[in-house]
Amino acid sequence: MATDAIAIAGTALTVHRKWLDAISDNIANVNTVRATNEQAFQARYIIAKAGEGTTGVYVEAAAESKSEGRLVYEPNHPLADAEGYVRYPDIDLGQQMGNLIMAQRGYEANAAVVDRAKSTYEAAIQIGKS
């Protein structure tokens, strides 16, 4: 039973780590500037799906936003077009920070499950030795 808990929580750790990776990429690129004739940085999102029975959870896909980005008037920017505009990604930093907190808390909770299940498993082994 403890090994099932470890395996299931382990799948959730993997999903939360990939979610954290995607969020950190989005936050790191929130100010990435592109020329207006280029595509803006596309935010990444993780799509998770529950496994069958007691197999945990897994990443079904990593999706990208389809946003055109935001046009910002910055005539002195080296990438500005003839009208003075550049393209920024359409990433809401507040939303990303909220997602970051949820992903981090989910990761911590599943790490605690693994730790407690491991302790329970070790205690059961000690009882068996007595």
DSSP-derived secondary structure letter, 128: H
pLDDT digits (tens, 9 = 90+) for 63-118: 999 999 999 999 999 999 999 999 999 999 999 999 999 999 999 999 999 998 88
Which two tokens mark 29? 């690129």
Q: What is the mean pLDDT of residues 121-126?
A: 81
Domains in the chain: how many in total?
Answer: 1
Domain range for 40: 2-129
- Rg of the chain on CA atoms, in Å: 22
Indicate the pTM of the whole model. Answer: 0.84
